[in-house]
């Protein structure tokens, strides 16, 4: 499996995490090209069905990034994201998927290096566990 490269779908909030990903790029911070970024208005609007669909249709992992708690532009959107992430932990088990295939991370707009590190860490973890059973 040395040639295996995981595919990660990243749902990033418009106000913080997407801006952090953009900052990483404009700062020329290197991170693996394994991530496909989908910008959403708020991490709280990422329904668990979107995550499960991605994981059962070929993605090896899903990363959901939002504003730090207390800094959400929609007041409590990231709290909703946290509640949905908790539900997803249970759903992953139902779909016979490892919990490492989903990650929720808080990344502020000024944290480009942190966004890059989160992606690097997730890629390394997914390389270790191998391809999804749904590939």
Per-residue pLDDT tens for 29-40? 999 999 999 999
pLDDT reported for residue 62 = 98
DSSP the chain: -TT----EEEEEETTTHHHHHHHHHHTT----TTEEEEEES-GGG--HHHHHHHHHTT-SEEEEEEPPTT--TTSSHHHHHHHHHHHHHHHHHHTT--GGGEEEEE--TT-HHHHHHHHHHHHHHHHHH-S-TT-
Q: What is the mean pLDDT of residues 72-96?
A: 95
pLDDT for position 1: 46
**Which structural domains are found in the chain, ordered by start?**
8-129 (3.40.50.960)
Q: Is this prediction's pTM over 0.75? A: yes
């Amino acid at each position: 499996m040395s040639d295996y490269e995981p595919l990660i779908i990243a749902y990033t909030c418009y106000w913080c995490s997407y801006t952090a990903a953009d900052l990483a790029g404009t700062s020329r911070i290197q991170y693996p090209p394994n991530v496909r970024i989908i910008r959403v208005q708020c991490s709280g609007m990422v329904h668990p069905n979107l995550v499960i669909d991605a994981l059962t249709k070929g993605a090896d992992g899903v990363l959901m990034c939002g504003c730090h708690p207390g800094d959400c532009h929609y007041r409590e959107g990231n709290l909703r994201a946290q509640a949905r992430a908790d539900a997803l932990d249970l759903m992953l088990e139902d779909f016979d998927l490892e919990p490492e295939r989903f990650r929720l991370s808080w990344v502020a707009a000024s944290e480009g290096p942190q966004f890059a590190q989160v992606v690097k860490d997730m890629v390394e973890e997914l390389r270790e566990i191998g391809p999804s059973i749904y590939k």
